[in-house]
Amino acid sequence: MMQRILLLCLAGASGTLCRYALAGLVHRVVGTTFPWGTLAVNVTGCFTAGLMWSLFEHRWVIGGEARVIIMIGFIGAFTTFSTFILESGELIRTTQYLMAAANFIFQNGLGLLALTAGIALGRLA
């Protein structure tokens, strides 16, 4: 049990650091007028979740514990839907309704497309 917890912590820390790095990079490149960093993380996270799920189900023999560590530990810490909600709330609070709507549509629409693409790619591997 302690080994599982330690591995979850390490995977979670790795996911958090990757989220921080990717969001920061995107914000430095395209600016912060829109939550592009969070969008990049969420779409990448959805794609990765779909790809891993598909590979685990159809291609790779991997135990349940390893799945939990990867999917909950790493990917769970990497994706940032709580940040998405906070940023959307701030856009609404500051009466930037069009930006809030765009954020909602992009995050959810592109996330769903990325998940589907990840599953499709995993089935091809």
Compute the average pLDDT of residues 33-45: 94
Q: Is the pLDDT of residue 86 over 90?
A: no
Residues 107, 3: Cα–Cα separation, whole Å = 35
Give pLDDT, residue 59: 87
pLDDT tens figures, 54-68: 999 888 889 989 999
Compute the average pLDDT of residues 9-31: 97
* Chain mean pLDDT for the chain: 93
Nearest to 68 by CA among 19, 23, 5: 5
Q: pTM of the full predicted structure?
A: 0.81
Structural tokens at position 90: 């701030």
Taking phi over 0 as left and psi of -120 to 50 as alpha, with beta for the rest, 31 belongs to: left
**Read out DSSP for 10-74?**
HHHHHHHHHHHHHHHHHHHHH-SSS-HHHHHHHHHHHHHHHHHHHHHHHT----HHHHHIIIIII
Nearest to 47 by CA among 70, 75, 73: 75
